[in-house]
Chain A
Amino acid sequence: MNLRDPESMNAIVGNVLRYGVILSAITVFFGVILLASANGASDSSGALQYYPSQVPHGDFPVSFQALYNGLASFSSFAWIELGVIFLIATPVSRVLISVFLFAAERDRLYVAITAVVLALLLFSMLLTPFIPLFQG
């Protein structure tokens, strides 16, 4: 595999997308199996209750600590959320790889454009949830 060759870089992008999507689907499916085997016949309304005045607005783990504990105890919701996080990461890894793709083509302009897009994406995804201006 030659990292300077645009063709093989293109193949890498395709593989990262494919394996990222498969990893996400397998993880979510594992969570669904846990959910269906433990609570499949329970009423769905409890897990669909929206609580406007509290954060998180639903009854499921979102913090790093809660997710970690949930995964360790094989909580169905924690495994599903982990799969969703893998899915959210696929477009990010695609933009990241595109920086190297354009570098392989020695296209400095697009290395710069893609780096700016990546910076905006990471800022928006990871930092804005914790800035009060964006919490309305």
Chain B
Amino acid sequence: MVIIEFLIIVFLASIFAGVFGSIVGLGGGVVIIPVLTILLGVDIHFAIGASIVAIIGTSSGAASTYVRDKVTNLRVGMFLELGSTSGAITGAALAAYTNSAALKIIFGSILLVTVIPTLMKIGEDIPKSPELKGLSKQLGLKGSYLETDGSLVKYNADRPVAGLAGTAVAGVLSGLLGIGGGGFKVLSMDLAMRLPMKVSTTTSNFMIGVTAAASAGIYFVRGDVDPLIVAPVALGILIGAAIGARILMRSRNPTVRKAFALVLAVTAAEMILSALGVIS
């Protein structure tokens, strides 16, 4: 395949990845990695390096829209990022001493199981907000955003310690495997902290960029960030994320949840199948 063809194929796939990744808060690696490895025969290391760039692109590309519309909760994100960045550093240190295939099967299975509680809440539009108390109150983990019908939705976060533990696991996964972290971040905010779905995915979208940037240095210096691959990925993902952010702002929580459950199931299946050697 000549360079022009390669650039165009990866660019188009990345637009699609950016649209989906920004809506569900997982970053788009779930689309980029199989397109590169299965369809185009790229080495998995380069594919993971490209996925890191894709995650940062989705995060920053969608963020300027989310900042303007104030749906991302910066306090929740920054508090949880304590767990996620320290988890990522721990994961990176452990990477040399662990069996990544076994980990992918374990965490892939956990993600697959969490599709069930996600689906059980499928019709939920605005969660019944708990009373603001304890640590959530001390940390000011509350917020509000404008819904599509113009109503102001106010919410409080529940169980911050469980949320922090969940995002620490997400961080360890990002550091160890380079994938799967975004799913645990959204799940922590959705299932443990009971935030509205859009707040969970956009806040995850902020966090995945920070966590990916934390591990970007090591991938860059190692030479896993191949310019031929990441150029069309970066350009496509930025365009896709800008489109996805606008779609998200016009969608209601149940729609976002359906998209999230779908991408979560695909991510989990990808992790398990790659560990079993079915796909590279």
Contact = CB atoms under 8 A, between A and B. Distances in A.
B250 interface: no
A13 B60 CA distance: 11
Given A13-B67, A17-B67, A91-B59, A124 B222 contact: no
A32 B60 CA distance: 21
A76 B95 CA distance: 33
A72 interface: no
Interface stretch (B83-91, B145-153, B257-265): B83-91
Chain A interface size, under 10 / 10 to 19 / 20 to 34 / 35 or more: 35 or more
Contact of B3 (A18, A39, A52, A116): A39
Given A57-B45, A133-B93, A62 B221 contact: yes
A21 B61 contact: yes
Interface in A46-91: 47-48, 50, 52, 55-58, 60, 62, 76-77, 80-81, 83-85, 87-91
Contacts of B222: 55-57, 129
Contacts of A48: 42-43, 46, 226, 228-229
A136 B95 contact: yes
Contacts of A89: 213
Interface of B: 1-7, 42-43, 45-46, 53, 56-57, 59-61, 63-64, 67-68, 70, 74-75, 78-79, 81-82, 85-86, 88-89, 92-93, 95-97, 138-140, 206, 209-210, 212-218, 220-232, 234-235, 238
B209 A32 contact: no
A40 B85 contact: no
Contact of A58 (B53, B67, B223): B223
Contact of A41 (B4, B61, B74): B4
Contact of A81 (B74, B79, B215, B227): B227
Chain B, interface SS category: helix
Contact of A87 (B42, B57, B75, B228): B57
Contacts of A56: 221-223
Contacts of A114: 78
A21 to B, nearest CB: 5
B3 A121 contact: no
A21 B92 contact: no
A25 interface: yes
Contacts of B56: 87-88, 90-91
Contact of A50 (B46, B231, B234): B46
Nearest to B60: A90
A130 B235 CA distance: 30
A91 B212 contact: yes
A28 B228 contact: no
Contacts of B138: 109
Given A80-B227, A88-B56, A101-B74, A125 B217 contact: yes
Contacts of A91: 56, 59-60, 209-210, 212-213
Contacts of A134: 92-93, 95, 218
B7 A124 contact: no
A95 B225 CA distance: 23
Given A25-B235, A91-B59, A101-B74, A121 B214 contact: yes
A83 B234 contact: yes
A129 B218 contact: yes
B74 A36 contact: no
Most buried by A among B81, B97, B140: B81
Interface in A21-52: 21, 24-25, 28-29, 31-32, 35-36, 39-45, 47-48, 50, 52
A116 B96 contact: no
A21 B60 contact: yes
A117 interface: yes
